Chains A and B, each alone.
Chain A
Amino acid sequence: MTAPLHEPTAEAAPSAAEEAAVVGAGVKAVQGRSLGRIAWERLKRDKLALAGGVMVLVLIAIALLAPVITSLVGQDPESHHEDLIDPLFGTPTGALGGISGDHLLGVEPVSGRDIFARIIYGARISLLVGFLSAIVAVVIGTVLGVLAGFFGGWVDAVVSRVMDGLLAFPQLLFIIALVSVMPNEMLGLTGTGVRLFVMILVIGFFGWPYIGRVVRGQTLSLREREYVEAARSLGAGRFYILFKELLPNLVAPIIVYTTMMIPTNILTEAALSFLGVGVKPPTASWGQMLSSAIDYYDSDPMYMVVPGMAIFITVLAFNLFGDGVRDALDPKGSR
């Protein structure tokens, strides 16, 4: 996928950690370039991955600036515009779901809420849940994976069984069930706050075994490497080996799996909201918009196309970027 690199650009001698990183990933040190450097060089050449990365940045900006963007077009996600609705059918008047200069992507059936503003605000929900639940999964997965791989024995046995079990669980069903039995108020949060909090925790919790498995496997094989042996024979303590020798070499797989997990989480959030157990109206979320669009797929197809495309573009951007990061960090890849 990536073209061979030309003259190496990094002149600085690699630090011990960088060298360890290169050796640890099973790569011969070529003229002292760190793995991170190599990866970045490769990523820069991968046009699709860069496009995905730029798109992700744009989406993050959209989510952060949602109130600014919507006020620029003079709309907000929750005001009703019933005057734009055909009273007989409940669908928007005008072509393509009521697209006009005021309402860039049309209005929702029945309520007439501005779809553009709702899409912009929906990005907040999707990205928030996507990122935070990935962080939850990464933290749990890394800690337990490293512990299992490093200490072995019964720790490994317990963690591995739990991971196998969670992976074999009917996950969506459990997530739906858990999210739906949660009360409306807890820990000082209400309504949407509770739902977001619970979704993040539950999606993250069911995601950690994917990272945990990889981290455990890496740790197992790294533990026996000569450089770890060398550190140990020099009298390095457990925690030194754990944090200075092992963790730096786990960064690459962790990054790869985190980038791959975010789009999956975004899809799960959208699915939950689609099924009516996630974020509820009037709060805007893409999945919930699609679920209301079911009733209008024949009379107002634009209403379903817009949030569907929003989900598609977002997930595609993350997937493109994730694929690129994976290829760039793959020690076996061409360089």
Chain B
Amino acid sequence: MLAYLIRRLFAAVVMLAVIIMVVFGIFFLVPKWAGVDIAASFVGKQADPAAVEAVRQKLGLGDPIFVQVWEFFKGIFAGRTYAAGGDVTHCAAPCFGYSFRSEQAIWPVLTDRFPVTLGLALGAAVLWLLFGVAAGVLSALKRGSMWDRGAMVIALAGVSLPIYFTGLLSLAIFSYGLGWINAEYVPIEESFTGWLGGMILPWVTLAFLYAAMYARITRATMLEILGEDYIRTARAKGMREQVVIRKHAMRSTMTPILTMLGMDLGALIGGAILTETTFSLPGLGQAVLNAIKNQDLPIILGVTLITSVAVLIANLVVDVLYAVIDPRVRLA
């Protein structure tokens, strides 16, 4: 078990290193290859060459990419000082970079916005796991029934509807049309009920999409497993159907569901870009989208890192849960 965990942890760290290299690659090499000067893009459209040069020096953009990566990491633990001549900007540890476009350090931006996204992702995950998996299991057990057909039609519609459409529809109907819900985002520390009210529509629309996906996958997996030999064996030895389902079928069904959950949750925590844009939630996704539009590279870099870490952690947790659910994994 411990060896397994160490192996997974090691793989996660390697993966993180690769992602960081790729992110740097995308943002520092692709523009160069495409003939775009990053330093100039920080200064503005009609920048004079001296100002561009100062920015280049201050940000170390002229350094080789490995030096830039190293400086970035050092900044996370030791803080970082950007200097060009007399112009000095200090960025305290943990420094995930400094945005010269918006003149702020990245770390506070991340910590401000992270709770919004986390709340959105976790709340929706609870909903979609409850409803999606339950609907899928019931459909599989009552295959061909009215319930099964009805649920699968809804699920098919669910996976075919883009979230930014269901989101806008729900806003138009429940918030504007019926006036039931005030869809403004309220921080949780200001008012808990206000926060709940603002999050209900995002939660439900996001969960609807994922519940539809999970119901489809759960149903398919469950049906496949119910056809396995060991289920027949369990039934043949006289085990009660309820126990067969709960102890044997459910357990194997949960493995692929967990894999999906790990990836989906990780990706969402890193920024539910579409949902946050539709509902104007001030989360990481919205921050990164704005940053992309403003070509604010340090913020993009910071959020991408956070996202990657979130995905890796989620996957790591899933790996541990695997070992709990599936005894074969522990031995492997």
Contact = CB atoms under 8 A, between A and B. Distances in A.
Contacts of A332: 227
Given A173-B304, A176-B273, A178-B26, A315 B160 contact: yes
A294 B168 contact: yes
A263 B159 CA distance: 10
Given A178-B26, A183-B34, A183-B36, A170 B311 contact: yes
Majority DSSP secondary structure for residues of A touching B: helix
Interface in B51-105: none
B311 A275 contact: no
A297 B176 contact: yes
B15 A165 contact: yes
Interface in A171-196: 171-174, 176-178, 180-183, 186
B322 interface: no
A276 B161 CA distance: 19
Interface of B: 15, 18-19, 22, 26-27, 30-31, 34-36, 156-157, 159-162, 164-165, 168-169, 171-172, 176, 227, 263, 266-267, 270-271, 273-274, 277-278, 288-289, 292-293, 295, 300, 303-304, 307-308, 311-312, 315
A276 B15 contact: no
A304 B166 CA distance: 10
A293 interface: yes
Contacts, number: 125
Contacts of B165: 290, 304, 308, 311-312
A305 B173 CA distance: 12
A interface, how many residues as a size bin? 35 or more
A270 interface: yes
A316 B160 CA distance: 5
A7 interface: no
A75 interface: no
Residue among B31, B160, B292, B303 having the largest count of chain A Cβ atoms under 10 Å: B160
A82 interface: no
B168 A297 contact: yes
Nearest to A176: B292
A294 B169 CA distance: 10
A174 to B, nearest CB: 7
